[in-house]
Amino acid sequence: MLDSVTLKSNQIQDVFHILFKIHLDGSKYPMIVKLSVGWLLELPHVPHDLYYVWMSKNDAPMLLKPTTRTVQLDDLIGLDELLYVCCPYLGDIKSLLTADAIALDRSATCKHITPLTALGSVRETPKLQSQLEDMFFCTQPDSVKRTVEFVSERVASGCIKEICYEIVPSYKKEAMSKLRHEVDISSADIAEKLQRYAGRSHANLLNVLGGKAEVILNLRISAAMEALLSSTVLQQTKDVCVFLTHRMCRKRVDEWVKSHVTQDIFINYFDNEIKKLKQQTKAKPQFGLPSLGKSDKHDGSTDSGMKIMELLRELCWRTVEGQPVTQVEIFSLLESIRTSFEGRCDINDCITLAINKLLLDFIILAIAHSPDSITTDVVSMCCVLYRACGNLDELVKTIFSPRNMFVLSMSSVPERSTNCFAVLIDALLQSELLTHAEILSQVLNCNANQALSKFLGEVLSRCKIKTED
């Protein structure tokens, strides 16, 4: 290959002029010579404008003198052989154009003019791109490659965190708010509607993430490269580093989005939110009190919540150990509880619930061990205290729990215990603290054995509650 200075020398220029003349007046020379000269002049190192400059200076059209030769192109010796050498597939094309179908089937072959290896060039593009990147980093200091890898990792990680913790949750909430206005959550085909709406939301989110990720990467990569690369690095090198870092970051972000941001996240989120909307809100006990208490009146002479719980524990232990507990003691305790609930301002909802739970445990123990001490008046007063409890679901609505049923089954006088427990259930029904449906639901979920099932059947029959076996 000749350099630009040598190409401008007189000797080389004369050689080119001779070649130009041969190429222009090809009728005097064999065609193979003209083809070879044309191939030579099309090489990259030959100046493209040299041929046209020569034609303009030498009045090239005048060089073409009219010829009197009458030899046709097809009569030239060796033309067929030359064409088939230059175009090896003309023979196959000729066979395809023949009218003889038999000859076509026997001799015609269809060859791929485009090599099959060229079809794999698209698949080899990532490999070629990787090789180009390696060649670029080979020409740069090691610090440049480490900087590109570090920035790509950290920027991609930050972008993924922003997508995971900010963009996706906010978009899910926005989609849920639109869902509540567009879809009737009480309809029968709500599952199918949620599936379609989740698909549309997922497609829209992917479009949003593509734009958001592009903005984040463009903003952070350029600033990071400008701050971390040395000032001696050329601007063109910085631009290449920014491009490579952007491509690596986008690849990592796209892979994470493809594997984590799926349609299922919308379906699960919609299901949970709809369940929350359908679920009835339950009042929770208040753990704290205002600075001045729950009321402006406080009777310090009444028993505190801790004192009442100690008295209840003492009665429970005495009942379990078989020591007698009189009705006077029970009424005295119930009256003390009532006055504390009404007179003290430092008993919050949690203390009230704990006292009522312990009181119910004492009543169950007393019914099992000394049913004569639990009269109708005692049960009625207990119902009044139970009404002060703000969360009945954790109190009387678990009265048929397996633990309570086990305690009642240990009674030495089952007949009287059954009657006494029936009186308690009937009082709760009369006070509207329990309903027949809730009792039946608890009984069916009790998993009682044969003896306990008989006990429950007697209690329900005395309370006039009908159930299926």
147-187 tens-digit pLDDT: 999 999 999 999 999 999 999 999 999 988 888 888 777 77
- For tokens 């463009």, the residue is 218
Domain count, the chain: 3
In the 3-class helix/strand/coil scheme, how is 235-264 assigned residue by residue? HHHHHHHHHHHHHHHHHHHHHHHHHHCCHH
- Identify which of 421, 429, 424 has the alpha carbon closest to the alpha carbon of residue 405: 421
pLDDT recorded at residue 308: 87
Residue 336 and residue 188 in one domain? no
Residue 315 and residue 456 in one domain? yes
Q: What is the mean pLDDT of the chain?
A: 77
Provide the percentage of residues in the chain whose pLDDT is more than 70: 72
Task: Give Cα 85 to chain centroid, integer Å.
Answer: 63
Instruction: Report which of residues 145 and 180 the model is more confident about.
Output: 145
147 lies in some domain: yes
Instruction: Report which of residues 15 and 100 the model is more confident about.
Output: 15
pLDDT recorded at residue 81: 63
Residue 312 and residue 445 in one domain? yes
Which range, of 35-49, 110-124, 263-277, averages the lowest pLDDT?
110-124
Cα(10)–Cα(399) distance, integer angstroms: 116
Cα(400)–Cα(440) distance, integer angstroms: 10
Assess contact for 95 and 104: CB atoms under 8 A: yes
pLDDT recorded at residue 391: 62
Residue 448 and residue 313 in one domain? yes
Residue 231 and residue 177 in one domain? yes
pLDDT recorded at residue 295: 61
Query: Looking at residues 210-227, what average pLDDT do you find?
Result: 91
Cα(111)–Cα(116) distance, integer angstroms: 11
Residue 258 and residue 325 in one domain? no
pLDDT recorded at residue 27: 66
pLDDT recorded at residue 80: 62
Cα(311)–Cα(326) distance, integer angstroms: 14
19 lies in some domain: yes
Of the pLDDT bands very low, low, confident and very high (cuts 50, 70, 90), residue 68 is low
Residue 242 and residue 310 in one domain? no
pLDDT digits 0-9 by tens, 99-124: 444 444 555 454 444 444 444 544 55
Which range, of 115-119, 134-138, 144-148, 445-449, averages the lowest pLDDT?
115-119
Cα(366)–Cα(18) distance, integer angstroms: 128
297 lies in some domain: no
pLDDT at 255 over 90: yes
186 lies in some domain: yes
Cα(92)–Cα(430) distance, integer angstroms: 104
Residue 183 and residue 265 in one domain? yes
Residue 317 and residue 455 in one domain? yes
Residue 161 and residue 211 in one domain? yes
pTM: 0.40
pLDDT recorded at residue 59: 57
426 lies in some domain: yes
**Which of the given ranges, 9-23, 57-71, 252-266, 395-409, has the highest pLDDT on average?**
252-266
- Identify which of 404, 409, 469, 408 has the alpha carbon closest to the alpha carbon of residue 440: 469
Domain boundary pick from 33, 62, 91: 62
Q: Is 447 left (phi over 0), alpha (psi -120 to 50) or beta?
A: left
Domain that holds residue 37: 6-62
pLDDT at 65 over 60: no
Residue 262 and residue 147 in one domain? yes
400 lies in some domain: yes
Residue 215 and residue 255 in one domain? yes
Q: What is the DSSP string of 374-431?
A: --HHHHHHHHHHHHT-S-GGGTGGGTT-HHHHHHHHT-SSHHHHHHHHHHHHHHHHHT
109 lies in some domain: no
pLDDT at 72 over 60: no
Of the pLDDT bands very low, low, confident and very high (cuts 50, 70, 90), residue 223 is very high
421 lies in some domain: yes
